[in-house]
Structure 1
Amino acid sequence: MLAEHPARHWHALADGRVECLLCPHRCRLTEGQRGRCYVRVCHAGALVLSGATQPLGCSPDPIEKKPLNHFLPGSLTYSFGTAGCNLACRYCQNWEMSRSRASSASAGPPIAAAQIAAAARAAGCRSVAFTYNDPVVFHEYALECAAAAHAAGLYTVAVSAGYVLPAPRAEFYAAIDAANIDLKAFDDRFYRQLCGARLAPVLETLEYLVHETAVWVEVTTLVIPGENDDPRRLHALSAWIAGHLGCEVPLHLSAFHPAHRLREHAATPPSTLIRAREIARANGLRHVYLGNLRLEGGGDTWCRGCGARVIARAGHRLVHLGLDEAGCCPYCATRCRGLFTSAPRV
């Protein structure tokens, strides 16, 4: 049986419906109707989450897999998601979870937040990551898990598309230590046609996180041939990051592999990612990483002061970490922004 959990951020409408105030879709639901995320449901005149405390895919992962390259590099993070998502990306690699209605047959048993934190510590993880689907849709449960993680000395990580309204955004990210935000394209048409969303709220989330919170932020763009790989769009995307977020914010450019409703689409060739990195660097971004393909040096970190390689990676595996606890280069003492401490969260 699916567990139900009271929802926050909604109100009742005069016509008997409820309006969800969690994300920009602002779904208006009649009795028994589900939102576009599949998991927020109108029940007995209130908004509830269905299956929200029944996580899927619980597993220790390298933090680099999120991807986060400047946050506790080489550590493990305890990753999990739930069913549902508030975007409908046609190329989603986790579509079995994100487009699921969390049927009682597919959902796991309810797991208390304290159990998540205990499992993370037992697995040797330094953080808990809300990932696989978007934590926006299990907002309330994620907050409970974040509180339990912090109480256990663990950091918290969110992997999100950033499609959320201001009030729940502030509430959620007050409990988050690091986030990787998908900037899927610098093109509202792409968002509308391939993701069922809009670009502007994502840009607002990114600016909010970088300028108004202490959350460590990295950005990922999945580069899809013929969809968002036009050099002019890539130039606009990286120029916006440099101008609005700053040149120290890491950008991960990931290769697309056919999935979900784009199974017949071409995969991203290495040359496309390399060209995208050149464009981003020309716009001033200092840390541009290449993912989903094994490219020599694609995951390495270089000192912006002297140019030395200070972190070496092979895929998601840390090979060498040359920075000290403060993130300073051993050769010129230039500080690399991020979190590199070996200490637990306090």
Structure 2
Amino acid sequence: MKETCTVCMHRCRPKPGQFGRCGARKNVNGMIVCENYGRITALALDPIEKKPLSMFYPGSVILSVGSFGCNLNCPFCQNYDISMENADEAETVFLAPEKLALKASELRARGNIGVAYTYNEPLTGYEYVRDAAKIVKQYGMKNVLVTNGAFSEAVEESLLPYIDAMNVDLKGIREEYYRKLGGDLGTVQNFIKKAADRCHVELAALIVPGENDTREEMKEMAAWVASVNPEIPLHVNRFFPRWKMADKKATEAEQVYRLAETARAYLKYVFVGNC
């Protein structure tokens, strides 16, 4: 019996015992189950700017947690060793939502402001994010989501009451580029628009040579972001060789700075990263 997963735009229908394309959700006896719930691959106290968030409690640190799985297939992924693994491959430890929230609270003495759900694509296991975020809020702390935004409206709605800030990775502004990465531009745009009405949002755009690095594309991207809200911060980031693009040259720093300057004609806050 096949069951349809409705978490993202792929709407996978895995056979019993099989995973969807995210590697985190599985058909178990005809039901789609979140196999990465509480299964942690990474846990660290990071600067908030690393998310990247530049205008949300700058100078603070936040407990950052990740699992495994992702619903896109970006060949330049920096965390491919966890994002591209499934439950049968990943090395994990179990951390219940209550334990994560307690850990975050105990780290207040070191300046911790809350929990960031990051490293892999956290919304492949959105149930864990939701359950942990509720408890973190009860402790009076902040929840930060770092996501590609390629998820359904129902998933987003279930989380927004508990999320204080998010960084959404806006891969590009052309539908054909999103298709190459296994995504859907419209889904991400809708996700961003809804989030921008409900919490603090910053966007990150990785500039990959020969893929999304033209001035025309940056004009389109910045103009679209400005149509949502010209005060949404945009991080224009430099690509470095990684995973399936290990043989590609890093983006020229000068090009990143030029594209950031292009974006500033439309947006109030533009930041350059990795240069």
**Given the two structures, how large is their TM-score scaled by the length of structure 2?**
0.96
Shift of 1:123: 2.5
CA distance in 2, matches of 1:120, 1:180: 20
Shift of 1:103: 3.1
CA distance in 1, matches of 2:36, 2:14: 18
Matched, 1:288 2:270: yes
Q: Unaligned regions of 5+ residues in structure 1, if any?
A: 1-15, 294-346
Shift of 1:217: 0.3
Equivalent residue runs for 1:75-90 within 5 Å? 75-90=60-75
Shift of 1:281: 0.9
Q: Do the aligned residues in 2 keep the contact of 1:51 with 1:107 (CA within 8 Å)?
A: no
Q: Secondary structure at the match of 2:62?
A: strand
Matched, 1:254 2:241: no
Match of 1:10 in 2: none
Identity of aligned residues (%): 35
Q: Do the aligned residues in 2 keep the contact of 1:223 with 1:273 (CA within 8 Å)?
A: yes
Alpha-carbon RMSD across the aligned residues, in angstroms, is 1.1
Letter in 2 for 1:189: E
Q: How many residues align?
A: 272
Q: Secondary structure at the match of 2:221?
A: helix
Highest CA radius of gyration, 1 or 2? 1
Q: 1:100 aligns with which of 85, 88, 113?
A: 85
Match of 1:266 in 2: 249
Q: Do the aligned residues in 2 keep the contact of 1:52 with 1:83 (CA within 8 Å)?
A: no
Match of 1:160 in 2: 147
Match of 1:229 in 2: 213
Shift of 1:51: 3.2
CA distance in 2, matches of 1:138, 1:202: 18
Higher relative contact order, structure no. (Cα contacts within 8 Å, ≥ 6 residues apart): 2
Q: Do the aligned residues in 2 keep the contact of 1:81 with 1:133 (CA within 8 Å)?
A: yes
Q: Unaligned regions of 5+ residues in structure 2, if any?
A: none
Match of 1:109 in 2: 93
Q: Do the aligned residues in 1 keep the contact of 2:25 with 2:36 (CA within 8 Å)?
A: no
1:209-264 per-position Cα deviation (integer Å, ceiling 9, x unaligned): 113x2x10001000111110011011100011112x22111000011010010111
CA distance in 2, matches of 1:49, 1:252: 31
Shift of 1:69: 0.9
The list of structure 1 runs, each at least 4 consecutive aligned residues, that deviate by more than 3 angstroms after superposition, is: none
Letter in 2 for 1:138: G
Match of 1:240 in 2: 224
Match of 1:218 in 2: 202
- Between structures 1 and 2, the one with greater helix share: 2
CA distance in 1, matches of 2:269, 2:133: 28
Letter in 1 for 2:116: A
Q: Do the aligned residues in 2 keep the contact of 1:31 with 1:42 (CA within 8 Å)?
A: yes
**Given the two structures, how large is their TM-score scaled by the length of structure 1?**
0.77
